Amino acid sequence: MAKADEFLGKEVSRLKKEHLNWTLRELQSSSKPHAKVDGKDVLMLCTNNYLGFSTHPKIIKAMVDATEKWGAGAGAVPVLSGRTSLQIEFEEKLAKFKEVEATLLCQTGFAVNSGLIPQIVGQGDLVISDQLNHGSIIDGVRLTKADRGIYAHNDMNELEKVLKENKGKHKTTLIITDGVFSMDGDIAPLDEIVKLAEEFNAMVMVDDCHGEGVMGKGKGVVAHFGLQGKVHIEGGSLGKAFGVMGGTIAGSKDLIEFAYNKSRTWLLSTAHPPGMVAACIAAVDVLESEPEHVENLWNNTNYFKKQLDSLGFNTGNSQTPIIPIITGDPGSAQEFGKILMEKENIFVTPIVYPMVAKELSRLRVQMHALLTREDLDKALEAIERIGKKLKVI
């Protein structure tokens, strides 16, 4: 008889054989463009810490000071005894910054989706999702008993078709999309989605984890489109451009009150450590008072993408600091990443199935506000050379 846990090793062997396993690197410094990884000084082109806020002195100081004053942990889930004054201050500050009525600080961006989506829609409702939405949205949708519709990535004709086919059949209809798509770096046509939603009386939820701090002068993709007040639910992450950790829900006062009464991840999981909340408050302050970080990020993004395109790389439909270099099969993406790391000391993560379709395997480059022109040119030179050797270009 097979041992009860025998499948574990077998599955890992299969993943390795098909080049679908992860090589876990060890980060031995703070997360920054010149970082130490696996014993080497590398140029890091694969962090979500777009603005360098995880090492911003004001943000670190806020975290340390609050930790000394408030202690290491919040002590409980927010509804029991864990909601600090800092949390309230953060939620009010973020609401003002994002020009919404109210916000809620949640554990993570993932927890926003898995906790809130199943409360918004249930039996008798319909949830319609972009085919390339983030895995945490997919998991949130899996937790609902609602009917489900999927539309091809950013395809508004298909979205309209799903809405038409289902007209009058459901109580609540919810359209969900990533704001910035995490693997392709393109953005959702939110203006068109909102227009269709208004026509069919549907709710709109945008998961803007990669857009917060990046799009719309840092206010996110909804602000980028000037759609404040027209998107019912905005989900965000504080672990990416904000450089800390956490998730956010932004929208109407009714939405926020609904969310903290019903979202199971909010109700059943420990509140943020006070130091982390203080760091998030400081991150909003820095976004407002030091606009140069977002500007630098976009200058680097525009330069790097233009150079990659002119070298003949396939960067898909990237419109943001997420710039994929699509290589094709998983083996070539893994090989490209391995050579860059081992021979050139450049750290870029290969992305393969199930994060993307197998034939769209890629290196996912992410820009950073603190990368210099010299850093970018060094990376471009190496990427060009290896791309030619591997016949990617």
Ligand X SMILES: *Cc1c(COP(=O)(O)O)cnc(C)c1O
CA atoms of 160 and 196, how far apart (whole Å): 7
Least distance to ligand X, CB of residue 136, Å: 4
Smallest distance from ligand X to CB 84, Å: 20
- Tell the smallest beta-carbon distance from residue 108 to ligand X (Å): 3
Residues in contact with ligand X, total (CB under 6 A)? 13
Nearer to ligand X, 265 or 300 (CB): 265
**Binding residue for ligand X, selected from 47, 49, 87, 108, defined by CB under 6 A:** 108
Q: Are 174 and 200 in contact (CB under 8 A)?
A: no
Stretch that binds ligand X, among 56-64, 67-75, 104-112, 330-338 (CB under 6 A): 104-112
Q: Which of 229, 272, 265 is nearest to 118 (CA)?
A: 265
Per CB under 6 A, which of residues 239..278 are in contact with ligand X? 239, 247
Catalytic residue among 19, 134, 232, 240: 240
Strands 102-106 and 247-251: antiparallel
Closest distance of CB 52 from ligand X, Å: 18
Quote the CA–CA distance of 129 and 125 in Å, as a whole number. 13
Q: Which stretch binds ligand X (CB under 6 A): 102-110, 258-266, 313-321, 376-384?
A: 102-110
Q: b/e per residue, 85-94, with b = 16+ CB within 10 A?
A: ebbeebbebb
Catalytic residue among 98, 210, 272, 305: 210
Q: What does the alpha-carbon distance between residue 298 and residue 321 come to, in Å, rounded to a whole number?
A: 7
What type of residue sits at position 350? P
Site for ligand X in 22-41 (CB under 6 A): none
In whole angstroms, give the CA distance from residue 386 to residue 392: 8
Least distance to ligand X, CB of residue 383, Å: 24
- Cross-strand pairs, 128: 149, 175
Regarding 321 and contact with ligand X (CB under 6 A), the answer is no
Residue 240 annotated to the active site: yes
Instruction: Answer yes or no whether residue 210 interacts with ligand X by CB under 6 A.
Output: yes
The least CB distance from residue 137 to ligand X, in Å, is: 7
Q: Is 169 exposed, middle or buried (0-12, 13-18, 19+ CB in 10 A)?
A: exposed
Cα separation, 26 vs 141, in Å, equals 33
**Residue nearest to ligand X according to CB distances in the complex:** 109
Among 207, 212, 344, 375, the residue binding ligand X under the rule CB under 6 A is 207
Candidates 21-29, 160-168, 203-211, 369-377; binding stretch for ligand X (CB under 6 A): 203-211
> In a 3-state reduction of DSSP, which class is residue 250?
strand
> Is residue 349 part of the contact set for ligand X (CB under 6 A)?
no
Q: Does 136 bind ligand X (CB under 6 A)?
A: yes
Candidates 50, 53, 90, 110; binder of ligand X (CB under 6 A) is 110
* Contact by Cβ (8 Å): 392, 327: yes
- What the block records as the tokens of 103 is 């916000």
Which region, judged by CB under 6 A, interacts with ligand X, from 67-75, 187-195, 205-213, 338-346?
A: 205-213
Please name which of 68, 94, 45 lies closest in space to residue 218, comparing C-alpha atoms.
94
210: enclosing H helix or E strand: none
Helix (H, G, I), strand (E, B) or coil at 147: strand
CB of 59 to ligand X, least distance (A): 17
Query: Smaller CB distance to ligand X: residue 114 or 334?
Result: 114
Question: Is position 209 an interface residue for ligand X (rule: CB under 6 A)?
Answer: yes
Name every residue whose Cβ is closer than 8 Å to that of residue 291 and which is 6 or more positions away in sequence: 217, 218
Catalytic residues: 182, 210, 240
The residues binding ligand X (CB under 6 A) are 108-110, 134, 136, 178, 182, 207, 209-210, 237, 239, 247
